[in-house]
A and B are shown apart, each in its own frame.
Chain A
Amino acid sequence: MTNEELKLLAVDKSVDARGTACPGPLLEAKKAIGIIKPGNIMEVLSADEGTKKDIPKWCVKQGHEYLGTIEESGYFKIYLKKR
């Protein structure tokens, strides 16, 4: 997805994990995805560089759809859809 398409997504769940270092954001994402419904869109906010690679790979491994990442100033937003 392009950044424009990502920005237009209706997000069902937003997880702000900017206060934690790896593996905090991954665990926050893992916990949150357990409570949303299949097909729901989740965004994860993180300022941890390792997480930018970790969450998309984890997402695919778990069978969820990785939609893309938007870079913001000092952090980024990762978008995924629950299978």
Chain B
Amino acid sequence: MENKKLCLALYTGSVDKLTAAGIILSAAAADDMKVDIYVLLQGARAFRKDIGDNPDKLQMAENPNMKEEFLQSLKNLKVKTWVEFFKEAKAITDVKIHICGLAGKVWGGEKLDDFIDIVDDIVGINEYITAAQESDVHLFI
């Protein structure tokens, strides 16, 4: 049986939405899906080496004044950080993380080396459209 494909347009650079993306990635990994993630605009900032899962450098998309409570609750429930979720999914299934070239530049990242080591390459936006057309599940977060 051919593996189903998930295409994720990851626009967000917020810790709450990145965590949600990580949880969805876990489910895709459990199903052996082939995953392509296209990191757009705000998302690219979070993938920068000096940001990653450092909670002090990430904002919340929803309930911004409750970041501490949110992060503490995740910690109490032993929920992984968003980067840990992404890493684990990569270890289980075929997950490729592509940074949109423009998005990288917006946040000062020109080379692959500027981003955390889970990033696979820097691509043009047409690759995203192709992946979206070929996917079984397509999400925008």
* A→B interface (CB under 8 Å): 19-24, 26-27, 29-31, 58, 61-62
Contact = CB atoms under 8 A, between A and B. Distances in A.
Contacts, number: 32
A61 B1 CA distance: 12
Contact of A27 (B29, B32, B77, B78): B29
A31 to B, nearest CB: 7
B26 A27 contact: yes
B79 interface: yes
B30 A30 contact: yes
B87 to A, nearest CB: 12
A62 B32 CA distance: 9
Given A23-B26, A23-B30, A58-B30, A30 B92 contact: yes
A26 B79 CA distance: 13
Interface string B13-43: 0000000000100110111100000000000
Nearest to B88: A27
B92 A27 contact: yes
Interface of B: 23, 26-27, 29-32, 77-79, 88, 92
Nearest to A31: B92
B interface, over-half SS? helix
Contacts of A62: 31-32
A78 to B, nearest CB: 14
B8 to A, nearest CB: 16
Nearest to B78: A20
B33 to A, nearest CB: 11
B30 A21 contact: no
Given A31-B92, A61-B31, A62-B31, A26 B26 contact: yes
B27 A21 contact: no
Nearest to B79: A21
B78 A24 contact: yes
B88 to A, nearest CB: 7
A23 B23 contact: yes
The 6 A-B pairs at the shortest CB distance, nearest first, are namely A23-B26, A30-B30, A21-B77, A26-B30, A20-B78, A27-B26
A23 B78 contact: no
